[in-house]
Structure 1
């Protein structure tokens, strides 16, 4: 019995270091470095991964801006404007992305690859955990924008959020992309 089977908390977003090997089985047949050359990559997979790239870039931009604000290399008004724009974009786009995955893609993909159903449940649990993280992120960003919080505190919150978001995105990609590459994107939209 693996550690994650003994202790389900080991699979929680805040504590796991990756998906268990049993849920990464398709990744062996469809390794990351082969994805772009696969005939089922263009279209849905490419679009979906582009969304993940956008989330990573937004968090990188927000982190760089917060660091510049803390170091007084970015004037407060510019920081407020960028934080409002990019923070709002991140929150709204992530919520929409997760809603589509939970309501549509996860159930369809879980039916296509039933041995990975547990993985889709883990990702769904991640989305619930991300709701709380997004709320904390929003509260911290709003405190900066309203003048009741500091860029340093927001930066700390953002680092925690970014780390967990990246863990989730990587695990999601490791589970979902191989399923779509194997079965194709037909009947997913």
Structure 2
């Protein structure tokens, strides 16, 4: 948050406040529409794998939410839910954390050099990763509470909030990274 005459002004680009990328960061996304990505000559194995990882994160989150809803409505036994929550929740947390480390340490520094117009976009994505670390920690705390016998409802609410942030981040990341790859032919 920025300070303006003693008031805290929310950052409109912060992950929890953002509804879309600003136009200035959509310069390549406009030139390379999402509907055309998979047909592009530079949509290779690296970007296909990366997009599959994003799809996996979304699927794991959907599974965690549907399991929590089933447990809340007593359509799933608490012990079955605990086992699935531990396994799939741990998988999501570990895989997202590792994915962000690889992006921040390997891919983003290389991609920034390919199109300077999007440097601010990559800075935004790195800030998202910092915010996601806190959200991942909060999700883990919520899951651990359920595993210790707490009610599922508050965890389900936390998952819904996490889902909004994760989906915003993944969509924006895709709208920055994929067009850079298509534009430059970056192969990893």
Name the counterpart of 1:89.
91
Q: Hey, what's the Cα distance between the residues in 2 that align with 1:56 and 1:15?
A: 20
Provide, for residues 134-173 of structure 1, a one-character-per-residue CA deviation record: whole Å limited to 9, x for no partner.
00000000011111x2111110010000110000000000
Q: Does 1:52 align with 2:54?
A: yes
Q: Hey, what's the Cα distance between the residues in 2 that align with 1:128 and 1:136?
A: 13
Q: Hey, what's the Cα distance between the residues in 1 that align with 2:39 and 2:62?
A: 27
- By percentage of residues, which structure has more helix? 1
- The answer to whether the 8 A contact 1:9-1:15 is kept is yes
- Poorly superposed stretches of 4+, deviation over 3 Å: none
Q: Which runs of 5+ in 2 are unaligned?
A: 1-8
Provide, for residues 44-74 of structure 1, a one-character-per-residue CA deviation record: whole Å limited to 9, x for no partner.
1110000000000000000000011110011
Name the counterpart of 1:38.
40
- The answer to whether the 8 A contact 1:44-1:185 is kept is no
Instruction: Give the aligned CA root-mean-square deviation in angstroms.
Output: 1.0
TM-score with structure 2 length normalisation? 0.93
Q: Hey, what's the Cα distance between the residues in 2 that align with 1:8 and 1:42?
A: 39
Name the counterpart of 1:160.
161
Q: Equivalences for 1:1-189 in 2 at 5 Å?
A: 9-147=11-149, 149-186=150-187, 188=188
Q: Hey, what's the Cα distance between the residues in 2 that align with 1:29 and 1:18?
A: 17
Give the drift of 1:42. Answer: 2.4
Give the drift of 1:28. Answer: 1.3
- The answer to whether the 8 A contact 1:59-1:162 is kept is yes
Q: State the secondary structure of the residue aligned to 1:18.
A: coil
TM-score with structure 1 length normalisation? 0.93
Q: Which runs of 5+ in 1 are unaligned?
A: 1-6
Count of residue pairs the alignment pairs up: 180
